[in-house]
Amino acid sequence: MQSTTYRQPGLRVTEHTLQVPLDHAQPGGERIDVFARAVVLAEKADATQPWLVFLQGGPGFEGPRPVSADSPGWLRRALADYRVLLLDQRGMGRSTPVGPEDAGAMPAQALADRLALYRADAIVRDAECFREALGIDRWSVLGQSFGGFCTVTYLSTFPGSLREAYITGGLPPLDRGIDDVYRETYRTTLEKTGRHYERYPEDRDRMRGLMARLATDDVRLPGGDRLTPQRLRQLGLMLGMGTGSEKLHHLLELPPASPAFLHDVERAAPFARNPLYAVIHEACYANGQASAWSAQRMMPAEMADDPTLLTGEHVYPWMFEELAGLAPFRAAAGLLAHRPWGALYDPSVLAVNEVPCAAAIYVDDMYVPRAYSEQTARHIRGLRPWITNEFEHDGLHSGKVLGRLIEMVRS
């Protein structure tokens, strides 16, 4: 393992790069780099503290880049009790990247087989490699969104490695099919869209006018992709965050021909920056089944009749046609959509869980269905759920949520 230590305001930071098997079932095969950043308060740099590994949302996103003990917002509370390891998921950040060049360099089936090794089970095993390399007996885990899915996989496969588990907006369904999940996420997305238009009724007129223009005009985003009506609808992705409705309104009020509008639309859904997010997103919910482009199949009929109705965290086949950054993955994504995925969770292990756990479940979560999260919470022995409507899916960034979960685990 290669390591480098430096200081930031109020922090001591150590960067680690570790080689791990691409396929953990073949430890003697190809190896890739996985990067993680260890953070501790400067005044506690020489103190003995337990470890907390942070598993980021996604899939396909790197860990947060701290600039101080207060950014991200939950970090200071974590550092009061822990040394924190911020893991870059395989394929992202400073871990060995997966990009269009890689996609274009191999046959579709070989690429699909490779990308199948980037799910939660592999991420958990990468974390285990770090735990062992750092000489840690047991550590705690904080999983945000998809990181919570990874945490439930961790509890299923390596419970003896964990002291405590905290989950925010990320309790996955254990026994519901992927179609059930997308049916529910469409319902909440439509609700969020309706609430937004109630608050900002002029935005619906703006959206209607934009849709009419995009249906006939060749409008190009700064990166060169054509802005189509279906891509514009993806702005609904913003509505699941705490200030998402306000940010969407401020975007739509910009003159539609202005560089600001086009740049902000492109930045609102950065699929080209993080291609893994789109390529393996549905695989997160395909627990023991094929996804078969579930979001496309489950889209409500009313969306076809009203172009102002927005979509949310949904990935569609057309994205791999229209987005230049995703086009090299088109054939592999099609193969992955029909791949029968293995199980990610072991309900029998979770039913006898002994790791202290607490989870924040957000009442209005647009991305992870609340009802299914509550069912999972009841199945994991000893898990204490906190069901709240005070926050949206990004509630962890407030700095309050982690403190509440720590209190729940230790009370």
Structural domains present in the chain? 2-174+345-410 (3.40.50.1820), 178-337 (no CATH)
C-beta separation of 7 from 13 below 8 A: yes
For residues 298, 330, 318, 179, the Cα torsion angle rounded to the nearest 10 degrees is 10
- Say which DSSP state 188 is in: H
Nearest to 82 by CA among 142, 149, 19: 142
The tens-digit pLDDT sequence of the chain (411 residues) is 999 999 999 999 999 999 999 999 999 999 999 999 999 999 999 899 999 999 999 898 999 999 999 999 999 999 999 999 999 999 999 999 988 887 888 999 999 999 999 999 999 999 999 999 999 999 999 999 999 999 999 999 999 999 999 999 999 999 999 999 999 999 999 999 999 999 999 999 999 999 999 999 999 999 999 999 999 999 999 999 999 999 999 999 999 999 999 999 999 988 989 999 999 999 999 999 999 999 999 999 998 889 999 999 999 999 999 999 999 999 999 999 999 999 999 999 999 999 999 999 999 999 999 999 999 999 999 999 999 999 999 999 988 999 999 999 998
Query: Which secondary-structure segment (H or E) carries 109?
Result: helix 108-115
C-beta separation of 272 from 325 below 8 A: yes
List of residues 6+ apart from 216 with CB closer than 8 A: none
C-beta separation of 174 from 347 below 8 A: yes
Could you give the CA distance from residue 106 to residue 298 in angstroms, rounded to a whole number?
A: 32
Range 302-332 burial, b when 16+ CB lie within 10 A, else e: ebeeebbbbbbbbbbeebbeebebbbbbbbb
What pLDDT shows up at residue 379? 98
C-beta separation of 53 from 87 below 8 A: yes
pTM of the model: 0.96
What pLDDT shows up at residue 252? 98
Between the alpha carbon of residue 226 and those of residues 41, 223, 252, 308, the distances in Å are 46, 9, 18, 19
Nearest to 151 by CA among 17, 84, 57, 79: 57
List of residues 6+ apart from 390 with CB closer than 8 A: none
- Counting Cα atoms < 13 Å in the Cβ hemisphere of 27 gives 3
What pLDDT shows up at residue 105? 85
In which residue are the tokens 């089936």 written? 109
Count other Cβ atoms within 10 Å, centred on residue 181.
24
52 three-class SS = strand
Angle (CA) 195-227-335 rounded to 5° is: 95
Between the alpha carbon of residue 201 and those of residues 208, 243, 246, the distances in Å are 11, 17, 13
* Length of the chain measured in residues: 411
List of residues 6+ apart from 329 with CB closer than 8 A: 100, 103, 111, 115, 275, 278, 279, 320
- Say which DSSP state 7 is in: E
Nearest to 36 by CA among 67, 2, 7, 59: 2
